[in-house]
Structures are given as C-alpha cells and as structure tokens.
Structure 1
C-alpha cells in the first residue's frame, strides 16, 4: 500500500471513528439538568420531557404551501388550554426494552428510536409505564398537540422556516440517513427542545384517521370515533423525501402496522 493510500486509509478510519463518537455521544445532549425546571425525567425509564406551553395555533397547511396534501385541510384554529410535557425524542430501544423486555427493531441500537411497533403495542407500553410509576399521566399526544409542539410557535412550512437547504441540520431523511435510523439528539432541536420531530421515525399519535379536518376538535383533544379503524402518524422518517418533512405532514396507518420507520413519542400530562 503506497504512502498516499495509507494516509487515505488512516483518514477514512479517523472520519468514521469521529462520526461514531459524535453520534453515540449525542445522547448526552439530552442529559438531565437539575436546574432545568422545564424538563421532566421519567424515574423508571429516564425518558426526558420538555415543557410545552399552552397556546393556540393554525393547524394544517394553507393551499399555497409547497408539497402539501388535501389531507391537511382546512386550516383551522386550535387552542391548547393546558401545558404538557412531550418527550424530547422518540422512545428509544433501551427505554422500550426496560418496560417490555424485548426489542424487535429493524435498525438495532440502544439509543436509536424503537420501531416495528404497532399502535396497540405503543398503548401497551403506556399502560405498563403508568403502572410501574403509579400514575395515569403518560399517553400518546393527540394529532393537534403533536403539530402544535412541532411548530413551536411558527406557522412556516417547517419550524426552521422555508429554506430546504438547511434541512440536514435538523432532520434525518432519505437524502442523508444512509438507509437507517440514528441515535437521538444528533440533529438540532426545534425551538421548544424537541429532537427528530420531522425525521428519524414517524410517530404514532392517538387520533383515528380522517381524510380532512372538517369537524376536527378545536381544543387540541384527540379525534377518536368509529369513522375509521386507522390511526395517524406524524413527523416523517429516515425513508422520507424532503417534501414530506413538514410540520403539517401526516400519514394514514393500520393500527397493526409494524414498520422500520415507525415509532412513537410520549406525552406526560402535568
């Protein structure tokens, strides 16, 4: 092997070691801060939650928004009356295993988001976590609560604005993921401290699927009825094209769906 080839080899190894170190240590970004009164940490799993303030917003996408869908119409005002805690990231494989004792994820890694989880299995996790911590405060967010927290007091196409050229700074998507999930906390959070909210894995929410927002609740509660057996996922994933990585984006799922790009993020009521 020539000198230049040896140098190239060494630099390549250094690059991958640096990448691995950066990614594996990115979980430290979420390290608990005892002085941070706006963070709640689950005593049993270590899941960290950011405080989301009460407020109101315009839910859905306007007709002029690029890459929008009619599923995101009509735009309507929603008022979130009560503050709540939302997971700073999707539930990880380590956190899932601590409650459920198994890990069927496709992209293995303790600090990667758990995936291959159906909506019903997410509910099972929540029931067990509530029992273990002697509470009833953990649940999936409603679709409105999820979008409100994702937008973080913005009304642009993405919480960071309209400039797709900086998407890589915030989102794991098809263009930069390398066809896999990644350790939580590698990308920049949204203004309210939520990581991977528009990528890495899609996230289950509580609501039944509806083809549009006609008749949707205006108080931020989950829209549950018998109109459809399907549920909603939000947030996009490592498989998504950039046009899907938007605050208003939503997708229809069978409750029994288990996919390598589908996980969940927990809400904890105050």
Structure 2
C-alpha cells in the first residue's frame, strides 16, 4: 500500500510541474501516441509478450534543440515518465530527427515492477505551425524485483515499443488579442501620469493627439558617423516594456549623444518567423533558426526629401521613370492629400516616400552604394535581440498602459492616431535605435516570396527566384490591423506594384559601407597652404590675388530646377489629420 501511494505521489508531482508551466510559453505542446509493446516472455512481470501501448502528456522546449517531455504511458501497466528529446536539426525544422532518453516509475501494477528506462529514436514532421506528426521506436528496460524465499531478486525486462502520434502547440486563448485594448489599472504599476512631462502628450477623446520629441534633425543624422551595436548591447530602453518605471522621455530612451543615419549591427542568430497566435493560419512559413553576419541598416525609412535628392541626380528621362507613381492615390485610403502635395511639397519632406515599386526602391539604394536589406536582416534588426517577441518591444500589446500608441497602425474599432503616414521617427525606436520597424509603411526587402522557410539557408539567407515576381514586404503600415505590424509577419507583393502603404529603407555590407566612407575621406581636398611672404615662399606672379583677397570665379549659368512628372487632377495640399 505504501509503495502504491509513493507511485501516485510521483505521478502527481510530474503532472503538477508541467501543468503549472506558464501559459504564455509559446513552445508548450500536448502529445498523444499509440502503438504496441513487444517484450520478452517472463514469469516475473506482467509486461511479457505483446501489449497495446498509449502514451500522452506535455512537452516544453528548453532551447533550440532540446525539448522536455513528461506524461503517462500505458502498456498493460501504467508508468509516469519524463525525459529529454534532442533534435539534431533543431526543433523548428520541417523534418526533425531526434533522440530521446528518460526515466519513469510504474504507478499501477503489482509490486514486482519498479521503474523503466526508455531510449528512443524518432522523426518529427511539421504539418503546420501548430501540428506535428511523430514516429518513434523505443527500447525500454523495465526494472523488476521479486521476493523469493525472503531474498529480493532484481531483473531487467527488455522490450521494444514502436509508436506513431501527433503533437499540438497550445494556444494562449485566455489572453486579449495582442495590441487591442488598454491594460487594466491593476497592471499599471508605477506608471507616471502624462502630465508629468511625458512627451507623448495626452490623448483626447479621439485618441489622436500624441507627440514624441526628437532633439535632432535628419541633416544631423546624415552628418554623423554610424553607430555600432555590440553583441548583447542595448543602446535604447524598450518603450513597450511593462510596467513602466518612469514616463517615456528622450532622456531615458537614448543613452548617447552622437547620431547617424545608419546603425552597424553585430553578427548573431535568432528564431525567424511569427511567434504570436495564428489561429487562421495566415503565416504558414513556420519558424527557423537563422544566423546573419554583421551589417549596416538605415535607422529611418527613406523620406520624400531623400528620394527627391535621388531624382535630382538623374537625367530628365530617368526622373520620369523612377518618380513615385502618381496614380497610386486613385482608390487609395489615403484621402488626406494628393501625390503632388505629399511628395513635392516641403510640408511632408520628413514623411516616408511611398508609391515606389521594388525596382525603384532597389535603384535608390544602389544609387547610395547600398542595397535593400534581406528578409532575414530586416527581422533581425526589428527584433533587436529580443527572443520570441511579437513586436520590436516586449509584451503583447501595441499600446502602453496609458493608451499611448507605440506604432502608426489602424487599431480595430478604435480611433486611429494618424489617418495616413507619420513623420519618420515619430515613435520611440527599438532598443538598437531603429525607428518605424512596426507600422507607418510596409518595407520592401530583397527576397522573392516563398510560402515557407524550408529553402532558406541557415546563414545569411537571400531568396532570389527569377521565375517569380512576388517579393516580400515587412512591418505593416498605417492602414494595417495590429496583426500585420508584428516583426515576424511577412506579406507577398508583386514587385511592380506601388501603393500608398509601401516604402523602404536601405542596408549595406560592412565592407561596402565602410569602404565607401573611406573613399569619401580620401576624396576630401587637402587644406590649402597658408599664404605669406616669408622666407621660402614663392614670389607672387602677375595676376595672383593678394593674400587677403578672395579669388573670383565666373558666375555659373542659371541652374534649372529639376523637373518631375506633373500629377493629374492636383489638389491643394492638406495637412494630415491628427
């Protein structure tokens, strides 16, 4: 009787440990398998011969290759078991071979069976993001004890158990939809009121008044040296962390004074793919561990002013070819202005350029001596070292407990802060100092769209399929529901399409960017020698200017303003609605 109680307590402890695991863990799974137990004949155990077998329980990922498993196995007797699976190719591989080792106690049966040592090889196949099929062949050694003549005679009963089953990733159905709604008062721990100097300002009845103060300009960014992020370093605090310990201010968002228009990011690895709930299966790509080499990426989206400078450097024919598509406003949800007012007017100079297709975006980056970021680089930069997060900031919401928006998007059933794009850098950056990685505009990347990550290399993947014209856009836009502003969500887009929701930023290899900057430094003219009449100075020649006289140059011909294609049905500019 005492032995039975001990076995029951062991089973209860295993169930309590794993059933009590946090429901917010994305990698928690249920499993159920069936098969048969094939054992040697024995007189001292009920396990002899052939018996049906069923195994079920809970699994929890420990890291990218190891998975903890605990549950109950029935094979004429019932055992409570726990162990670890080691996946050779990683947990998220479409086809994942694994090894399993564990230990268990028999909780129901006679007094002869004590414990079991299972060792197994198996194959795990992903049907979709939530469901996987597994086939396993296990060797099992059961420890038995028989009392004979007052003496305990231990023995091992060996057996094989082939199983086939299914695993299901648990959904966090008890929580609110990410990004929608505001935290309850009891979650608002230590949050300073908006009246205490929060630069976001206060939200009015429409939720449309909010500002984030920036103490530098785009021209200052361009004149500064690129910032470098070291491995594991955090340059900016997370604006979405909960709870806040202080209001969001410029002083506690950035910790350095120098600014530039690009960030140098370190080499690193991350789990690529959407990590939130996807009950409708809108993101079939799954997840895959990817490593990227160090690279540079723009801190801000390319603006109208940036793109106008690019066009001014082209011939008149090329300007017409690469100008934004003025017809993109036809039928667009962007009713606040027209193409001419938005792109050509000075009011919107620091707003992201839109209505450019993939070819135009790529041409701009090449003109700068850079390129579009790969899809993997973009997500790596957006996550900024976070593991398994939905957004560039921690947490499951796209608003703070004060109701402040952390990105420019279209919240369902709530007032939208901006009815169109917002100036670049209007919201706090991620902790690597990169702005607008969620919302504002979708962003073109290098890659051709593929439904899954199965064909992606594990090191610096870039997919380029000449037979397909679908590219990937990332990040969501001002017109996107909150689901699409996740850093793990990807969307296919025809590369020749242009609309008012899509823009881009540029990236570059470290050697490419630093080589260009070295060339620029070498190309700078040396300082002119000082003038004078002292010993060693050459005699002045006739016609030379006096030392204190500036040389005169002929007046240049009158410069003609660059021409842009005239839009049709131009309307007067209107400022964006707040």
The question of a shared fold, defined as TM-score above 0.5 by the shorter chain, is answered with: yes
1:253 Cα offset (Å)? 0.6
Q: Report the Cα distance in structure 2 between the residues aligned to 1:47 and 1:201, rounded to whole angstroms.
A: 21
> TM-score when scaled to structure 2?
0.38
Task: Mark the structure with the bigger radius of gyration.
Answer: 2
What secondary structure does 1:51 align onto? strand
Q: Distance in 1 between matches of 2:225 and 2:466?
A: 45
User: Partner of 1:28: helix, strand, or coil?
Assistant: coil
Q: Quick one: structure 1 residues 219 and 232, their matched pair in 2 at CA, closer, same or farther if it must change by over 3 Å? A: same
Whether the 8 Å CA contact 2:421–2:478 is kept in 1: the answer is yes
Name the SS for the 1:238 alignment partner.
Answer: coil
How many Å separate the matches in 1 of 2:371 and 2:406? 26
TM-score (norm 1): 0.77
Determine helix, strand or coil for the equivalent of 1:73: coil
* 1:173 corresponds to: 409
Are 2:439 and 2:478, in contact at CA under 8 Å, matched by a contact in 1?
A: yes
The answer (yes or no) to whether the contact 1:147–1:247 under 8 Å persists in 2 is yes
Stretch moving more, 98-107 or 27-36: 27-36
> What is the aligned partner in structure 1 of residue 228 from structure 2?
38
2:267 corresponds to 1:28: no
Question: Does 2:432 match 1:192?
Answer: yes
Q: Does the C-alpha gap of structure 1 residues 34 and 166 become closer, same or farther in structure 2, counting only changes over 3 Å?
A: same
* Structure 2 residues not aligned, in runs of 5+: 1-208, 230-258, 313-318, 327-338, 511-578
Q: Does 1:217 align with 2:457?
A: yes
2:270 to 57, 63, 83: 57
Tell me the equivalent position of 1:267.
Answer: 507
The answer for the alignment partner of 2:481 in structure 1 is 241
1:170 is displaced (CA, Å) by 2.4
Give the distance between the partners of 1:252 and 1:193, measured in 2 at CA.
27
Partner of 1:152 in structure 2? 384
More strand by share: 2
Shift of 1:34: 5.1
1:72–1:111 distance in 2 versus 1, CA, 3 Å: farther
- Whether contact under 8 Å (1:203, 1:263) holds in the other structure is yes
Q: Given the alignment of the two structures, is residue 124 of structure 1 paired with residue 337 of structure 2, yes or no?
A: no
Q: Quote the offset at 1:57 in angstroms.
A: 0.3
**Matching residue within 430, 443, 455 for 1:203:** 443
Which blocks of at least 5 consecutive residues in structure 1 are unaligned?
A: 1-18, 40-45, 131-137
Superposed CA offset, 1:39-79 (max 9, x none): 9xxxxxx98111211100000124x6357745352211101
How far apart are the structure 2 equivalents of 1:166 and 1:28? 25
Change (3 A) 1:67 1:263: farther
**Counterparts in 2 of 1:119 and 1:67: CA distance versus 1, 3 Å:** farther
- 1: CA distance, partners of 2:435 / 2:261: 11
Partner of 1:183: 423
What is residue 289 of structure 2 aligned with on the other side? 77
Aligned partners of 1:27 and 1:257: how far apart in 2? 36
- SS of match in other structure, 1:200: coil
Q: Once superposed, what is the RMSD of the aligned Cα atoms? A: 2.8
Is it true that 1:162 corresponds to 2:395 in the alignment? yes
Matches of 1:151 and 1:142, distance apart in 2: 14
Deviation of 1:141 (Å) = 0.5
**Cα-to-partner distance string for 1:75-128 (whole Å, 9 max, x where unaligned):** 111011x21111111100100110123663744410000000000111221232
Residue in structure 2 matched with residue 112 of structure 1 by the alignment: 351
Per-residue CA shift, 1:213-250, capped at 9, x if unaligned?
A: 11112112311124522100001110001121111111
1:117-151 per-residue CA deviation (whole Å, 9 max, x = no partner) reads 00011122123222xxxxxxx10010001001101
2:185 — aligned with what? none
The whole-number CA distance in structure 1 between the counterparts of 2:225 and 2:349 is 27
Distance 1:67 1:191 in 2: 30
Whether the aligned pair in 2 keeps the contact of 1:60 and 1:72 (CA below 8 Å) is no
**C-alpha deviation, 1:165, in angstroms:** 5.1
* 8 Å contact from structure 2 (residues 392, 487) kept in 1: yes
2:262 & 2:225 partners in 1: Cα distance? Answer: 14
Rounded to whole Å, the distance in 2 between the matches of 1:96 and 1:195 is 18
Q: SS of the residue aligned with 2:305?
A: helix
Change (3 A) 1:34 1:213: closer
Cα drift, residue 177 of structure 1: 4.0
User: How many pairs were matched up?
Assistant: 235
Distance in structure 1 (CA, Å) of the matches to 2:495 and 2:226 = 36
Distance, in Å, in 2 between the alignment partners of 1:67 and 1:257 is 29
